[in-house]
Amino acid sequence: MAALAVTVPLLLLVSPAQALDPAPPTSASNDQIDKLIATLHQTYDGMQDLRQRRAAFERLMVSTPDPTRVQIRHVDVNGVEADLIWPARLHHPIGRRAILYLHGGGFYSGSLRTHRNIAGSFAKAASADVLLIDYRLAPEHGFPAQVDDALAAYRWLLASGYRAENIVIAGESVGGTLAIEVTLRQLRLKGPLPAAVVAMSPVTDFAVTGASMTANAGSDPFMGKGELELIRKAYIGDKSPVDPDKSPLYANMTGFPPLLLQVGSRETLLDDTLRLEDKARRAGVDVTVEVWPGMIHQWQVFPFWVDDAKKSNGRVAEFAISHFADKPAP
């Protein structure tokens, strides 16, 4: 499958006072993205069944490297299977800092294996424990199973001795959606909030009203309107897509902790991020948004193939460290 040819804009559509400016992509980076696009076409083209797509994603990610220089302990977190991952140079059963990582995959795919590499990279870069959870998947389990499992994992961290001010919740794609929704749930319940939240290319609007859904339709093979509609049907069925419990764009963000948003300039979900950033900023949230030139949906989970994935993951780790109450030793 030939790679898509796209002209990459170098303008970062962000709020200048809050933006971090990634460098323009190099020719090598563009080549890496073209190769990734070709791989994704080979993996998914012609597949509509969610279980088939789940298996295809698993096969793709099983062929990728496992993390190195980390220790992994399988744990049961309030009934949810999970891996607790920490840097090999640190020797402890439970540490001070934790990142709750919620994987993407359209709510229908993704596992401990598919996201172990990115979780391990965050553990090393942030000198933190990373809790990667295997939440229930659609279509076997719809809303609110995924949010319930993520919230159970967050509460397990609190019960295990991690202080809320030393926990960051992060996720990519619908994992970013979950990271926001779990925090909103805690906010409504007046429970302890995490130190910060990271949402990488989140789905914030299941009503699919963002202009970039059409404008970037030809430039992002990993998430389009058809894919999002499949996800919506499996996740919430006939329930309202503008319910704030499901689409963060429609939620009240007042009181939300510091938030980092990342998105690629080629993503159909670009406006999902930019509109949420605007809403959060208007609600007084300390929000930072990064628009990464030339990047497609979920580029962050391929640091072994894409240089900008390594860089963007490093920015996430820096953000987490800056908000932990107990900073790692230099």
Helix (H/G/I), strand (E/B), else coil: 10: coil
Residues near 253 by beta carbon (within 8 Å), at least 6 away in sequence: 184, 279, 280, 283, 285
Tell me whether residue 173 is one of the annotated catalytic residues.
yes
Residue 140 designated active-site: no
Instruction: Compute the distance between CA of residue 211 and CA of residue 271 in angstroms, rounded to an integer.
Output: 7
Distance of alpha carbon 139 from alpha carbon 314, whole angstroms: 33
Secondary structure (DSSP) of 14-48 = S-TTT---PPPPPHHHHHHHHHHHHHHHHHHTT--
- Active-site residue (options: 109, 173, 201, 247): 173
Nearest to 273 by CA among 193, 143, 180, 134: 180
Choosing from 181, 227, 267, 277, which is the catalytic residue? 267
**Cα separation of 228 and 205, whole Å?**
10
100 sits in the region (left: phi over 0; alpha: psi -120 to 50; else beta) called: beta
Cα 306 from Cα 289, distance rounded (Å)? 20
| Tokens representing residue 290 in the block | 């990064």
Residues serving a catalytic function are 173, 267
